A and B are shown apart, each in its own frame.
Chain A
Amino acid sequence: MRLPRRGAEPGAPPAGQPWSGRFPGFDVLDQSSHWDPATTGVVLARVGMAPDIRFFTPDEEAVATALCDQLLAQDDATEPQARVAVVNMIDARLAERQTDGWRYDDMPDDGQAWRESLAWLDADANEQFGCDFAACSRAQQGSLIHSVQNRGSDTWHGLCAERVWSLWTRYACTAFYSHPFAWNEMGFSGPAYPRGYKNAGIDRLEPFEVRDARPGDDPLRRRA
């Protein structure tokens, strides 16, 4: 199976994508023949066709897609075949009621909280910019998302804003960072059974691991 490699090109990252190209040539899927069958099934299912949307209505799907694109910086520049179908993955969890096993007493259950918060994002977009959230410019979407985040523990349309924020980011990151494409851009070796690791320790690599091409490129220094 040949799949697109995320950030596989050596050298400078594409503008605005500092996460790209740090581990030149590294593709975690190259190791899949070393994984046990139970794990292989679970991981390869994620690079196959995404499950159809069952939980979200089309309107909710539109808002969720724009929201998750923002949260995970999957923009138009993301090649379609390298895109992680985050919304389908979230939708599958909600359809199957695969929650984290708890809810705050002042929040509805996760599925309902997603529905309500997406509707309120759309309402905010219409009120402030006169169009649906999905139709807003990326800058407009960004500012609407920011304003939810900035509310902290204050309420937003009757919901505790930071609990909404935590719901969005938890589901979105769980989906995205379960995907081999995401592992490639962070140099993570993925499943490790039955082989395990032989070269643990500072700056020690397995033969199949790839060293970070830009080790000094940490977020702090980039900001400075």
Chain B
Amino acid sequence: MSNVRERNESAWLLPPDGKRVNHQLRQDMRRFEDNDEVDLLVVGCGAGGSTMLQRLARAGWKVLALDAGPFWDPDTDWVSDEAGSHHLYWTEPRVISGSDPVPLGSNNSGRGVGGSMVHYAGYTPRFHPSDFRTRTTDGVGADWPIDYSDVQPYYEAIEEELPVAGEKWPWGDPHSYPYRPHPVSGNGDIFLRGAERLGLVAKVGPVAIVNGRFGNRAHCIYRGFCLQGCKVNAKASPLITHIPDALAHGAEVRSNCMVTRIEVDERTGRATGVHYVHEGVSRFQRANVVVVAGYSIETPRLLLNSADARFPEGLCNDFDQVGRYLMVQGAPQTAGRFDEEVRMYKAPPPEVSTEAFYETDPTKPYKRGFSIQTVSPLPITWAEHVTAQGYWGADLRAYMSDYVHWSCLGALCEFLPQPDNRVTLADEKDRHGLPVAHFSYSQCDNDGALMRAAQEVMEDILRAAGADEVITIDRFAHLVGGARMAVDEQHGVVDSNCRTFAVPNLYITDGSVLPTQGSANPALTIMAVAARAADRLVAASRRGKEQP
């Protein structure tokens, strides 16, 4: 396991000369014709899709990925600037509703090769073993059809590939990380100081940010713009952790290709390929196996938009499961004010976390829990914190001028999966004429109780560290679910191997398949589950069940 380069050479395929893209590798990329039947086609080159692509390319399959967004060049396409990074987000129209509607776009989803991990913060904690059976142990949520032990080896593999830096981890299934923890900045110091005074355990990490050198990837320069895309190649995203290796093993990545519909042969019941639009031209790509990995909003939307005579309510939707049980984590952020200068922008936002409140506490009136992590909003995001307190005009300017004195923590609360939190199709159409996603969200009582409990703990930590004022903003993060994994087709869309119940050669390998979310950031788990699905698919094809 330890010689990661033998499994995934991505970091060594990046240029050693300070440039961030291996242009030769992209230029020499294999190119398929629309008429070639590729062994496997992936829709969406994000966390789950890219992992799948790289694994199957390594297994010798003819693989192709289509992504709606660009094939990023960090040198020219990304900037060290908040407002200038708007193009990293999926900003096609979407409609939100419910009693607690969840803003999307810049808050929640990305586009282009690398997916949302291009602008994710970089926290990569594992789920706890309990996350896989919350229905049995806590009477809430759902049980997965697989167990922690099924995913554990894939966690280890992906942690080496990203690679992850952090202290020895005491929570969940205790484990250590391949790289030592990063030094902490003012914001991390405040968290550690407050936690220590409360007798609370907090640890540095786990972050998928290079500490030292990894292949030709550079060490983090602590510039704080992780959410704007890492121009340094220090923070992991599939663009640099899985795509280079996939290309070197014969995969094609076709960018700026919006997939509009999955085609299923009525006679055989098998997927035959996908319709997509590239530069205004509608095309059809043939494939033997189709994998959808477009994120928890676009994946259900694509299935619903692929309705046909056999599946009038949407592909794989015979039991009205598509789009349901979508989850966000409640992510309140609490900031504290210090006379000292914290200057929280001078570090990657992900630094320190605690999972001490992750599990159900029988003394509390709510089930499941939350984690707490450093977050370090830059000025525009910080203005949201200040306006959320009702300030504007002179008060707003005064609060904003106080920025260097503030430290900020964020919680991730495990909201429970509910059938009515779902994606459906809106009447509104996008520029391709396709109905856009309508996403409805309402919290249950347990969700609200967790938000309040997490806020209290964050206030305690900041006050223990010496803050004289604390302010909180309610936010939501990390959509998962919407095409969940289950034991049968009446309870979910895919089986334990991420294969759809309804179409034997159609797979889903992104965050949509998660039945619960814990209070861990999801990207590592999404990649691990995808890597497992890839292994199972390769094994099944060796047994002759699925033809490469």
Q: How far is the CA of A177 from the CA of B104 in the complex (A)?
A: 21
> Contacting A193 at CB < 8 Å: which of B186, B232, B342, B400?
B232
Q: Lowest 4 A-B CB distances belong to which pairs?
A: A101-B105, A196-B221, A178-B83, A200-B185
Which residues of B are in contact with A by a Cβ distance under 8 Å? 75-84, 86, 89-97, 101, 103-107, 109, 183-186, 189-190, 220-225, 231-232, 337-343, 345-347, 378-380, 382-384, 387, 390, 392-405, 426, 438, 468-469
Most buried by A among B75, B106, B402: B402
Q: Is the CB of A182 within 8 A of B340?
A: no
Q: Is the CB of B81 within 8 A of A42?
A: yes
Q: How far is the CA of A201 from the CA of B190 in the complex (A)?
A: 9
Q: Give chain A residues whose Cβ lies under 8 Å from the Cβ of B232.
A: 193-194, 196
> Contacting B80 at CB < 8 Å: which of A39, A72, A219?
A39
Chain A window 157-189, contacts with chain B (Cβ cutoff 8 Å), 1 for yes, 0 for no: 000000000000110011111100011011111
Q: How far is the CA of A191 from the CA of B144 in the complex (A)?
A: 44
Q: Is the CB of A101 within 8 A of B84?
A: no
> Contacting A173 at CB < 8 Å: which of B77, B91, B222, B387?
B387
Q: Which one of A15-23, A53-61, A113-121, A122-130 is at the B interface?
A: A15-23
Chain A interface residue bracket vs B: 35 or more
* 19 A-B interface contacts by CB (under 8 A): A16-B394, A17-B397, A19-B394, A36-B231, A101-B109, A142-B393, A177-B400, A178-B83, A186-B402, A187-B403, A192-B223, A196-B220, A197-B221, A197-B224, A206-B346, A218-B339, A219-B399, A219-B402, A220-B469
Q: Is the CB of B225 within 8 A of A19?
A: no
Q: Is the CB of B96 within 8 A of A196?
A: no
Q: Give chain A residues whose Cβ lies under 8 Å from the Cβ of B340.
A: 202-203, 215
Closest Cβ of chain B to A138, distance in Å, is 10
Q: Is the CB of B403 within 8 A of A186?
A: yes
Q: Is A100 an interface position by the 8 A CB rule?
A: yes
The binding surface of chain B is classed by DSSP as loop
Q: How far is the CA of A16 from the CA of B394 in the complex (A)?
A: 8
> Contacting A177 at CB < 8 Å: which of B76, B78, B86, B383?
B383
> Contacting A73 at CB < 8 Å: which of B91, B221, B397, B405?
B397
> Contacting A191 at CB < 8 Å: which of B81, B384, B403, B469?
B81
Q: Is the CB of A38 within 8 A of B223?
A: no
Closest Cβ of chain A to B86, distance in Å, is 6
Q: Give chain A residues whose Cβ lies under 8 Å from the Cβ of B79.
A: 36, 38-39, 42-43, 191
Q: Is A112 an interface position by the 8 A CB rule?
A: no
**Cβ-closest chain B residue relative to A217:** B402
Q: Is A71 an interface position by the 8 A CB rule?
A: yes
Q: Is the CB of B390 within 8 A of A149?
A: yes
Q: Give chain B residues whose Cβ lies under 8 Å from the Cβ of A151.
A: none
Q: Give chain B residues whose Cβ lies under 8 Å from the Cβ of A19.
A: 394, 397-398, 400-401
Chain A window 188-224, contacts with chain B (Cβ cutoff 8 Å), 1 for yes, 0 for no: 1111111111111111111001011001111111100
